[in-house]
Amino acid sequence: MTEPLVSLKHLSKFFSVDTNLFGRTTSVLKAVDDLSLDIYPGETFGLVGESGCGKTTVGKMLVNLYTPTAGEIWYEGQNLAKLSKKDRRHYYREIQLIFQDPYSSLNPRMTVGDIISEPIRVNKLERPDKIDDRVSYLLNAVGLSANSRNRYAHEFSGGQRQRIGIARALAMEPKLIVCDEPVSALDVSIQAQVLNLLSDLCDEFGLTYLFIAHGLNVVKHVSDRVGVMYLGRLVEVAEKRELYRNPLHPYTKALLSAIPVTNPAQRKERILLEGSVGSPIDPAPGCRFASRCYAKGDCVGCACDAEMPELVEVSPGHFVSCYLFDGE
Protein backbone atom coordinates (compact mmCIF):
# COMPACT_ATOMS: atom_id res chain seq x y z
CA MET A 1 0.00 0.00 0.00
CA THR A 2 1.27 3.45 -0.81
CA GLU A 3 2.10 5.95 1.85
CA PRO A 4 -0.68 8.41 2.58
CA LEU A 5 -0.09 11.94 1.34
CA VAL A 6 -1.81 13.40 4.35
CA SER A 7 -2.51 11.70 7.58
CA LEU A 8 -4.69 13.27 10.26
CA LYS A 9 -4.05 11.68 13.62
CA HIS A 10 -6.53 12.18 16.45
CA LEU A 11 -7.12 15.70 15.27
CA SER A 12 -9.30 17.95 17.44
CA LYS A 13 -10.31 21.57 17.32
CA PHE A 14 -12.16 23.08 20.26
CA PHE A 15 -13.36 26.64 20.49
CA SER A 16 -13.96 28.20 23.83
CA VAL A 17 -17.44 29.70 23.90
CA ASP A 18 -17.63 30.95 27.44
CA THR A 19 -15.08 31.78 30.08
CA ASN A 20 -15.48 32.44 33.76
CA LEU A 21 -14.26 35.42 35.72
CA PHE A 22 -10.70 34.18 35.72
CA GLY A 23 -10.52 33.54 32.02
CA ARG A 24 -10.87 29.80 32.35
CA THR A 25 -12.95 28.11 29.71
CA THR A 26 -16.29 26.91 31.04
CA SER A 27 -17.98 25.99 27.80
CA VAL A 28 -16.38 24.29 24.83
CA LEU A 29 -17.52 23.95 21.24
CA LYS A 30 -16.08 20.70 19.95
CA ALA A 31 -15.97 21.41 16.22
CA VAL A 32 -13.74 18.44 15.43
CA ASP A 33 -13.23 15.74 17.98
CA ASP A 34 -10.57 13.06 17.71
CA LEU A 35 -10.67 12.61 13.95
CA SER A 36 -8.23 10.31 12.19
CA LEU A 37 -8.04 10.08 8.43
CA ASP A 38 -5.58 9.14 5.68
CA ILE A 39 -5.65 10.64 2.21
CA TYR A 40 -3.62 8.82 -0.45
CA PRO A 41 -1.89 10.48 -3.38
CA GLY A 42 -4.07 10.87 -6.44
CA GLU A 43 -7.34 10.06 -4.78
CA THR A 44 -10.35 12.24 -4.12
CA PHE A 45 -11.61 11.94 -0.61
CA GLY A 46 -15.17 13.18 -0.12
CA LEU A 47 -16.03 14.53 3.30
CA VAL A 48 -19.77 14.82 3.84
CA GLY A 49 -21.86 16.21 6.64
CA GLU A 50 -24.49 18.77 7.47
CA SER A 51 -23.75 22.34 8.46
CA GLY A 52 -22.04 22.56 11.80
CA CYS A 53 -20.53 19.09 11.67
CA GLY A 54 -16.96 20.38 11.47
CA LYS A 55 -16.12 19.47 7.90
CA THR A 56 -14.97 22.97 7.01
CA THR A 57 -12.90 23.14 10.21
CA VAL A 58 -11.02 20.04 9.07
CA GLY A 59 -10.27 21.75 5.76
CA LYS A 60 -9.13 24.91 7.47
CA MET A 61 -6.79 23.03 9.76
CA LEU A 62 -5.24 21.34 6.75
CA VAL A 63 -4.38 24.67 5.15
CA ASN A 64 -3.20 26.11 8.45
CA LEU A 65 -6.00 28.63 8.86
CA TYR A 66 -6.73 27.02 12.23
CA THR A 67 -4.24 25.47 14.61
CA PRO A 68 -5.40 22.12 15.91
CA THR A 69 -6.20 21.95 19.64
CA ALA A 70 -4.87 18.41 19.77
CA GLY A 71 -3.61 15.81 17.33
CA GLU A 72 -1.22 15.89 14.46
CA ILE A 73 -1.23 16.49 10.74
CA TRP A 74 1.36 14.41 8.87
CA TYR A 75 2.19 15.41 5.35
CA GLU A 76 4.43 13.14 3.26
CA GLY A 77 5.66 11.44 6.39
CA GLN A 78 6.44 14.64 8.29
CA ASN A 79 4.64 16.07 11.27
CA LEU A 80 3.78 19.60 10.20
CA ALA A 81 3.74 20.93 13.75
CA LYS A 82 7.35 19.85 14.25
CA LEU A 83 8.72 21.59 11.18
CA SER A 84 10.54 24.89 11.25
CA LYS A 85 8.60 27.89 10.04
CA LYS A 86 10.50 27.99 6.77
CA ASP A 87 9.96 24.34 5.91
CA ARG A 88 6.36 24.55 6.89
CA ARG A 89 5.83 27.35 4.41
CA HIS A 90 6.97 25.06 1.65
CA TYR A 91 4.46 22.41 2.63
CA TYR A 92 1.60 24.78 2.95
CA ARG A 93 2.27 25.94 -0.56
CA GLU A 94 1.43 22.44 -1.68
CA ILE A 95 -1.94 22.42 0.07
CA GLN A 96 -4.43 24.88 -1.38
CA LEU A 97 -8.04 25.73 -0.76
CA ILE A 98 -10.97 26.46 -3.06
CA PHE A 99 -13.73 28.32 -1.29
CA GLN A 100 -17.45 27.78 -1.31
CA ASP A 101 -18.63 31.25 -2.21
CA PRO A 102 -17.16 32.51 -5.48
CA TYR A 103 -18.68 35.93 -4.79
CA SER A 104 -16.82 36.75 -1.60
CA SER A 105 -13.57 34.90 -2.10
CA LEU A 106 -12.16 37.07 -4.88
CA ASN A 107 -10.93 40.59 -4.20
CA PRO A 108 -13.25 42.95 -6.10
CA ARG A 109 -10.52 45.57 -6.51
CA MET A 110 -8.00 43.30 -8.21
CA THR A 111 -8.03 42.23 -11.81
CA VAL A 112 -8.18 38.53 -12.49
CA GLY A 113 -4.57 38.64 -13.65
CA ASP A 114 -3.48 40.16 -10.34
CA ILE A 115 -5.48 37.65 -8.34
CA ILE A 116 -3.79 34.73 -10.07
CA SER A 117 -0.29 36.19 -10.32
CA GLU A 118 -0.09 37.38 -6.71
CA PRO A 119 0.70 33.96 -5.21
CA ILE A 120 3.25 33.35 -7.98
CA ARG A 121 5.02 36.63 -7.25
CA VAL A 122 4.92 36.30 -3.48
CA ASN A 123 6.33 32.80 -3.54
CA LYS A 124 8.75 33.54 -6.40
CA LEU A 125 7.55 30.51 -8.31
CA GLU A 126 8.36 31.99 -11.70
CA ARG A 127 10.74 34.54 -13.15
CA PRO A 128 9.02 37.94 -13.32
CA ASP A 129 9.03 37.97 -17.12
CA LYS A 130 7.44 34.52 -17.24
CA ILE A 131 4.55 35.31 -14.92
CA ASP A 132 2.30 36.55 -17.72
CA ASP A 133 2.69 33.30 -19.65
CA ARG A 134 1.96 31.32 -16.56
CA VAL A 135 -1.24 33.28 -15.88
CA SER A 136 -2.41 32.72 -19.46
CA TYR A 137 -1.64 29.04 -19.17
CA LEU A 138 -3.61 28.74 -15.93
CA LEU A 139 -6.58 30.66 -17.32
CA ASN A 140 -6.66 28.36 -20.31
CA ALA A 141 -6.37 25.31 -18.08
CA VAL A 142 -9.57 26.26 -16.27
CA GLY A 143 -11.37 27.09 -19.50
CA LEU A 144 -11.20 30.88 -19.51
CA SER A 145 -9.70 32.96 -22.27
CA ALA A 146 -6.32 34.54 -21.59
CA ASN A 147 -7.65 38.05 -22.08
CA SER A 148 -9.93 37.73 -19.06
CA ARG A 149 -6.88 38.74 -17.05
CA ASN A 150 -7.64 42.43 -17.41
CA ARG A 151 -11.17 42.17 -16.16
CA TYR A 152 -12.50 42.30 -12.61
CA ALA A 153 -14.21 39.50 -10.74
CA HIS A 154 -17.64 41.16 -10.81
CA GLU A 155 -17.68 40.90 -14.59
CA PHE A 156 -17.86 37.13 -14.37
CA SER A 157 -20.71 34.76 -13.55
CA GLY A 158 -20.61 32.45 -10.55
CA GLY A 159 -19.26 29.48 -12.48
CA GLN A 160 -16.51 31.56 -14.08
CA ARG A 161 -15.53 33.05 -10.74
CA GLN A 162 -15.21 29.58 -9.33
CA ARG A 163 -12.88 28.82 -12.24
CA ILE A 164 -10.78 31.86 -11.30
CA GLY A 165 -10.60 30.57 -7.74
CA ILE A 166 -9.43 27.21 -9.08
CA ALA A 167 -6.78 28.90 -11.25
CA ARG A 168 -5.54 30.82 -8.21
CA ALA A 169 -5.20 27.58 -6.26
CA LEU A 170 -3.39 25.90 -9.19
CA ALA A 171 -0.94 28.81 -9.41
CA MET A 172 0.81 27.48 -6.32
CA GLU A 173 1.51 24.15 -8.00
CA PRO A 174 -0.26 22.29 -5.21
CA LYS A 175 -0.38 18.58 -4.57
CA LEU A 176 -3.49 18.64 -2.44
CA ILE A 177 -6.48 20.90 -2.97
CA VAL A 178 -9.12 21.24 -0.31
CA CYS A 179 -12.39 21.96 -2.12
CA ASP A 180 -14.82 23.42 0.38
CA GLU A 181 -18.26 22.98 -1.19
CA PRO A 182 -17.02 24.31 -4.52
CA VAL A 183 -20.31 23.87 -6.34
CA SER A 184 -23.04 24.42 -3.77
CA ALA A 185 -23.45 28.08 -4.72
CA LEU A 186 -23.77 27.30 -8.44
CA ASP A 187 -26.64 26.46 -10.79
CA VAL A 188 -27.20 22.85 -11.77
CA SER A 189 -25.89 23.13 -15.32
CA ILE A 190 -22.83 25.07 -14.13
CA GLN A 191 -22.21 22.61 -11.29
CA ALA A 192 -21.66 19.86 -13.81
CA GLN A 193 -19.15 22.01 -15.71
CA VAL A 194 -17.12 22.76 -12.58
CA LEU A 195 -17.22 19.16 -11.35
CA ASN A 196 -15.97 17.91 -14.71
CA LEU A 197 -13.27 20.58 -14.74
CA LEU A 198 -12.08 19.48 -11.32
CA SER A 199 -11.80 15.87 -12.37
CA ASP A 200 -9.99 16.83 -15.60
CA LEU A 201 -7.48 18.91 -13.64
CA CYS A 202 -6.97 16.02 -11.26
CA ASP A 203 -5.67 13.90 -14.14
CA GLU A 204 -3.76 16.70 -15.79
CA PHE A 205 -1.90 18.02 -12.77
CA GLY A 206 -1.85 14.84 -10.69
CA LEU A 207 -3.82 16.42 -7.88
CA THR A 208 -5.27 14.96 -4.74
CA TYR A 209 -8.53 16.41 -3.48
CA LEU A 210 -10.23 16.63 -0.17
CA PHE A 211 -13.73 17.34 -1.41
CA ILE A 212 -16.04 18.77 1.22
CA ALA A 213 -19.79 18.78 0.57
CA HIS A 214 -23.05 18.65 2.45
CA GLY A 215 -24.85 16.19 0.21
CA LEU A 216 -23.91 12.69 -0.79
CA ASN A 217 -25.02 13.06 -4.42
CA VAL A 218 -22.34 15.53 -5.51
CA VAL A 219 -19.60 13.68 -3.67
CA LYS A 220 -20.67 10.45 -5.30
CA HIS A 221 -19.63 11.71 -8.65
CA VAL A 222 -16.12 12.84 -7.85
CA SER A 223 -14.88 10.77 -4.92
CA ASP A 224 -12.92 7.57 -4.61
CA ARG A 225 -13.50 7.26 -0.90
CA VAL A 226 -16.10 8.98 1.24
CA GLY A 227 -16.15 9.90 4.92
CA VAL A 228 -19.34 10.93 6.69
CA MET A 229 -19.10 13.35 9.62
CA TYR A 230 -21.60 14.08 12.33
CA LEU A 231 -20.99 16.71 14.99
CA GLY A 232 -17.23 16.65 14.89
CA ARG A 233 -16.87 12.87 14.62
CA LEU A 234 -16.25 10.67 11.65
CA VAL A 235 -19.08 8.12 11.73
CA GLU A 236 -18.36 6.12 8.59
CA VAL A 237 -15.57 5.85 6.03
CA ALA A 238 -15.62 3.57 3.02
CA GLU A 239 -14.73 3.22 -0.58
CA LYS A 240 -17.39 5.03 -2.63
CA ARG A 241 -19.20 2.05 -4.11
CA GLU A 242 -19.20 0.20 -0.82
CA LEU A 243 -20.64 3.21 1.01
CA TYR A 244 -23.47 3.77 -1.46
CA ARG A 245 -24.31 0.08 -1.83
CA ASN A 246 -23.95 -0.90 1.73
CA PRO A 247 -24.28 2.03 4.11
CA LEU A 248 -24.06 0.84 7.68
CA HIS A 249 -24.28 3.77 10.04
CA PRO A 250 -27.89 4.89 10.72
CA TYR A 251 -26.92 8.49 9.93
CA THR A 252 -25.40 7.58 6.57
CA LYS A 253 -28.58 5.70 5.71
CA ALA A 254 -30.69 8.73 6.61
CA LEU A 255 -28.47 11.03 4.55
CA LEU A 256 -28.71 8.75 1.54
CA SER A 257 -32.44 8.47 1.93
CA ALA A 258 -32.81 12.26 2.16
CA ILE A 259 -31.51 12.77 -1.37
CA PRO A 260 -34.46 13.57 -3.62
CA VAL A 261 -35.03 11.06 -6.39
CA THR A 262 -35.18 12.30 -9.96
CA ASN A 263 -38.12 10.18 -10.84
CA PRO A 264 -41.51 10.97 -9.34
CA ALA A 265 -42.63 7.44 -10.05
CA GLN A 266 -40.14 6.32 -7.43
CA ARG A 267 -41.12 8.66 -4.62
CA LYS A 268 -40.01 6.65 -1.71
CA GLU A 269 -40.59 6.21 1.95
CA ARG A 270 -37.67 7.97 3.44
CA ILE A 271 -36.02 7.89 6.78
CA LEU A 272 -37.01 11.21 8.31
CA LEU A 273 -34.73 12.17 11.13
CA GLU A 274 -36.39 13.80 14.12
CA GLY A 275 -35.26 17.24 15.13
CA SER A 276 -32.17 18.96 13.88
CA VAL A 277 -28.46 18.54 14.32
CA GLY A 278 -27.64 18.91 18.00
CA SER A 279 -25.30 21.49 19.38
CA PRO A 280 -21.57 20.82 19.34
CA ILE A 281 -21.24 22.96 22.49
CA ASP A 282 -20.52 20.82 25.51
CA PRO A 283 -21.81 17.62 23.89
CA ALA A 284 -23.16 14.90 26.15
CA PRO A 285 -21.01 11.81 26.51
CA GLY A 286 -21.95 8.93 24.27
CA CYS A 287 -22.67 8.72 20.59
CA ARG A 288 -23.30 12.18 19.13
CA PHE A 289 -26.06 10.82 16.96
CA ALA A 290 -27.85 9.04 19.82
CA SER A 291 -30.53 11.72 20.32
CA ARG A 292 -31.74 11.39 16.72
CA CYS A 293 -30.94 7.76 16.14
CA TYR A 294 -33.86 5.64 15.02
CA ALA A 295 -31.90 2.40 15.35
CA LYS A 296 -31.11 2.86 19.02
CA GLY A 297 -33.78 0.37 20.02
CA ASP A 298 -32.18 -2.37 17.88
CA CYS A 299 -29.16 -2.36 20.05
CA VAL A 300 -30.18 -3.49 23.48
CA GLY A 301 -27.62 -2.92 26.18
CA CYS A 302 -25.41 -0.71 24.05
CA ALA A 303 -23.58 2.17 25.61
CA CYS A 304 -24.99 4.70 23.12
CA ASP A 305 -25.64 7.28 25.82
CA ALA A 306 -22.56 6.57 27.86
CA GLU A 307 -19.57 6.31 25.58
CA MET A 308 -18.65 7.29 22.05
CA PRO A 309 -18.29 4.17 19.90
CA GLU A 310 -14.89 3.62 18.28
CA LEU A 311 -14.39 3.70 14.54
CA VAL A 312 -13.95 0.00 13.75
CA GLU A 313 -13.15 -1.72 10.49
CA VAL A 314 -16.09 -4.00 9.64
CA SER A 315 -14.83 -5.09 6.24
CA PRO A 316 -11.59 -4.15 4.47
CA GLY A 317 -11.55 -0.38 4.08
CA HIS A 318 -15.02 0.10 5.54
CA PHE A 319 -14.98 1.79 8.92
CA VAL A 320 -18.02 2.58 10.99
CA SER A 321 -18.53 4.09 14.39
CA CYS A 322 -21.67 2.48 15.81
CA TYR A 323 -22.28 -0.12 18.49
CA LEU A 324 -24.49 -2.08 16.07
CA PHE A 325 -21.34 -3.07 14.20
CA ASP A 326 -18.95 -3.35 17.09
CA GLY A 327 -18.25 -6.94 16.22
CA GLU A 328 -19.19 -8.38 19.58
Partner 1 sequence: MPQTTRPSENSAPQSRGANVLLEVKNLSTDFVMNKGTVHAVIDVSFTVHEGEVLAIVGESGSGKSVTSLSVMGLLQPPGRVVEGEVLYRGQNLLKLSQNEMRGIRGNQISMIFQEPMTSLNPVFTVRNQLTESIRTHLSLDRKDTFDRAVEMLALVGIPSPEKRIRDYPHQMSGGMRQRVMTAMALSCDPQLLIADEPTTALDVTIQAQILALIGDLREKIGMAVLLVTHDLGVVAETADRVVVMYCGRVVEEVTAVELFERPLHPYTLGLLQSIPTMEDVDDDEPLYMIPGMVPNPLNLPKGCAFADRCEKRFDRCTRQVPDLYEAEGRKLRCFLFAPDHEEVRP
User: Using the rule CB under 8 A, is 160 a contact of partner 1?
Assistant: yes
Of residues 18, 121, 270, 310, which one binds partner 1 by CB under 8 A?
A: 270
- Options 3-11, 77-85, 105-113, 267-275: segment touching partner 1 (CB under 8 A): 267-275
The answer to whether 154 contacts partner 1 (rule: CB under 8 A) is: no
From the list 187, 204, 298, 313, which residue makes contact with partner 1 (rule: CB under 8 A)? 187
Region of residue 54 (phi > 0: left; psi between -120 and 50: alpha; otherwise: beta): left
Q: Which of 65, 70, 81, 261 binds partner 1 (CB under 8 A)?
A: 261
CB of 132 to partner 1, least distance (A): 26
The answer to whether 272 contacts partner 1 (rule: CB under 8 A) is yes
Distance CA 154, CA 142 (A): 18
**Minimum CB separation from partner 1 for residue 195, in Å?**
6
CA–CA dist 84, 109 (Å, integer): 34
d(CA 223, CA 221): 6
- Which is nearer to partner 1, 200 or 298 (by Cβ)? 200
Q: Assess 253 for contact with partner 1 (CB under 8 A).
A: no
Site string for partner 1, 304-323 (x = CB under 8 A): --------------------
Size of the site for partner 1 (CB under 8 A): 46
Min separation Cβ 146 and partner 1, Å: 18
In the set 17, 28, 146, 277, which binds partner 1 (CB under 8 A)?
Answer: 277
Which residues in the 188-247 window bind partner 1 by CB under 8 A? Answer: 188-193, 195-196, 199, 214-218, 220-221, 240-241, 244-245
Residues that bind partner 1 (CB under 8 A): 50-51, 157-160, 187-193, 195-196, 199, 214-218, 220-221, 240-241, 244-245, 254-265, 267, 270, 272-273, 275-277
